[in-house]
Amino acid sequence: MALQQLDDEQIRTWTRAQKDEWWFKNIYRGDMPQLTLRSALTGFLLGGILAATAIYIGAKTGISIGVGLTSVILSFALFRIFNKLGWCEDFTILENNCTQSIATAAGYMIGPLISSLAAYMLVSGKIIPWWQMLIWMVVVALLGVLVAFPMKRRFINEEQLPFPEGRASGVVLDSLYTGSAESGVFKARLLGVTAVATALFQMIISDGWMKLIQIKLLMLDKWAGVKEAWVLHERLDDYYYAFAAKADLAIPKILGTDIRQLGLRFTLDAAMVGVGGLMGIAVATSCLIGTLMNFAVLAPIMIAAGDIVPRVAADGSAVPISRAEIVNQWGLWWAVTMMVVGSLVSLLAKPELFTGVFKSLFGKKSKEKTVDLLHDIELPLWVSFVGVPILSALGVWVTHEFFGVHWLLAGISLPLIFVLTVICTNSMALTSWTPTGAMSKITQFTIGALDRTNPASNLIPAAMTSEISANAANLLSDIKPGYMLGAKPRQQAIGHVIGIFSGAIACIPLFFLLLLPPDAHGVRSTATIVSDQFAMPAAMQWKGVAEIIAKGLSHLPFSALVSMAFAAAAAGIIEIARIVTKGRFPLSAVSIGLGAVLPPESTLAMFIGALLFWIMGRRYKAAEGRGEECHEGGFPARKQDDGHARGHRLWVEGCEPICAGLISGSALVGIGNAIINVLIN
């Protein structure tokens, strides 16, 4: 059933009161269950699980994956099964929407853990206590909720802005519950089968799982003489290097540097294949170009020139050249330059995002007095008017107490929140993209100019403004499907708050487990945050900007300064080309910069995933009309027609479920592997 919506003429000419009355009479489903105990509990648990997978992927790639549609499909399938078993009634469409809202809010909570807070620990060498993380993240996220709701009626009720990502969730929900449920069941089954198969594969390549199964459970060491657990090497090139050492074969080198030192490895990483399928061929290709440029071209040249060298650690141990050293000593600087300049040029090319600020602040408002039909279902404005000042003061206090940022510097960043929120919301409403990366750098440089001695002074206030604005914009995107389906906004706000706690409770322990594991003496060190497994590219970008602010550019090699100049020019040219061609230019400056700090094996796996789905998508582009195009001996080729339709359904319609299965299966087993290694070692 097609969702009802106002046409362009009605949006342009009707008053907000008329639009609210139309929505209340035609869309609102006041008698349908929404925020029930089971929808809240399902969203809380599902949100925690999906947030865990999101931090796993975010630590690897710096990309925050969306979990909204995945939660919709999983919730639908779960309660459809329960209903068939007679355990409970089926989920209503609004309960499912509430569940996805909670789960999506939980997924947003990973942002500071893979970026600003991790960067602070890398720069300062101090580990933030878990309870301080929890308090700061929850305060900032709640501020985002309270800042968003005064804008909800303007952006959603009155201007009826599209919010493409939120609308997609609404359309999927409507098709599941008002159309044929076959499509939803198929996608859920596809996601489940892919996740199980990926999980089994991930177990085979995980040392912890294999040790648990072979040594602890089967006790092969006791009766079969197994000395250590067999594990399929995730890095397939390990087999070649082992054979090469025995057969005295050549090891590939570039300008005399072993390609293993350059990070040029081949890894079977199912999660990265899934991420590549979701990001698309253009972004994946840009990442691969950045990787090859940094690690296969520039790094060997800089090593030969002596600008990248082995160094001595603080404890006197030798630190050989590796992928991480290449990034830290040289590659980070041109990569950060390309990402920052690309983000800013892309942002400045969208003047409507800035004009939207003035429209929202000074736009004409109706002076007619009307009865507010939505008074009892909208979040009361007094909650924001009272809550924002209180939480803002609390945010300034915890920023000062926990991170040593002067309270004036923390307070200076607060006026930027509203402006940045309107910009981010306009961007999310039009493009499903929030320019938090570019906007945070503006705050970071501004505050950093006032205090260059404390890295927290530029990192934490910038993190606060970017997270609040992003959380507010994402919340409004979550509310969009609820508005389309007739949900109560007040209950969605409560659901979002539930998701905030779900995400924080799930992600913070995982952050310590995956990125700050204790050593043999139980001591944790910030040196483990960035590793071959978890590159933390978003944190590295924040760290790079913070170090430029603190130290200036004089501490960098001359070649790094030259590379930064070329990177800035290239980023500007690439983004201008994208603007002139209206997005048809295939490269992205931000993605090229991202590829320069990601492990090459990850970008290769992402490119393989993107290429696979791009090829299959082109092959099965449309399922209609094939019977007229394909004939054999004068008769319609029905087998080819059916095969094409199945291919379209699998590779095009099933792209997101397959990718979600690859990511969730790999991430959950990978997290389990980390837990097992901590427990049995």
Tell whether the model's pLDDT for residue 136 goes beyond 90: yes
Supply the pLDDT for residue 427: 64
Is 534 part of any domain? yes
**What's the mean pLDDT in 627-651?**
60
Tokens 């399928």 — which residue?
A: 277
> pLDDT band at residue 1, thresholds of 50, 70 and 90?
very low
**DSSP letter assigned to residue 319:** E
Q: What angle do CA 39, 40, 42 make, to 5 degrees?
A: 65
Helices H / strands E in the chain, number of each: 32, 6
**What's the mean pLDDT in 475-494?**
86
Is 208 part of any domain? no
Tell whether the model's pLDDT for residue 264 goes beyond 50: yes
- The tens digit of pLDDT for each residue in 406-415 reads 888 888 777 7
Tell whether the model's pLDDT for residue 632 goes beyond 70: no
- The tens digit of pLDDT for each residue in 309-350 reads 887 765 667 778 888 788 878 888 898 788 778 877 876 766
Supply the pLDDT for residue 347: 64
Q: What are phi and psi of 235, to 5 degrees?
A: -85, 105
Task: Please say whether the beta carbons of 5 and 463 come within 8 A.
Answer: no
- The tens digit of pLDDT for each residue in 528-560 reads 898 878 888 888 878 877 877 777 777 778 898
- The tens digit of pLDDT for each residue in 296-311 reads 999 999 999 999 988 7
**How many domains is the chain partitioned into structurally?**
1
Is 374 part of any domain? no
Q: What pTM was estimated for this model as a whole? A: 0.76
Tell whether the model's pLDDT for residue 290 goes beyond 90: yes
How high does pLDDT run on average in the chain? 81
Supply the pLDDT for residue 361: 46
Supply the pLDDT for residue 613: 93
Q: What is the Cα 359 distance to its own chain's centre?
A: 30
If one compares 76 and 240, the residue with the highest pLDDT of the two is: 240
CA dist 308 and 262 (Å) reads: 11
Dihedral angle of Cα 327, 330, 331, 334, to the nearest 10 degrees: 140
Range of the structural domain that residue 321 is part of: 30-184+252-358+384-445+452-515+524-624
Is 598 part of any domain? yes
Rounded (10°) angle between helices 37-61 and 68-84:
140
If one compares 181 and 378, the residue with the highest pLDDT of the two is: 378
What is Dmax (Cα atoms) for the chain? 87
Q: What is the Cα 84 distance to its own chain's centre?
A: 34
CA dist 176 and 75 (Å) reads: 11
Task: Please say whether the beta carbons of 188 and 515 come within 8 A.
Answer: no
Is 16 part of any domain? no
Tell whether the model's pLDDT for residue 367 goes beyond 60: no
- The tens digit of pLDDT for each residue in 188-225 reads 788 888 988 999 999 998 888 898 899 888 888 888 77
CA dist 656 and 174 (Å) reads: 18
Is 8 part of any domain? no
Is 578 part of any domain? yes
> pLDDT band at residue 170, thresholds of 50, 70 and 90?
confident
Is 196 part of any domain? no
Supply the pLDDT for residue 187: 78
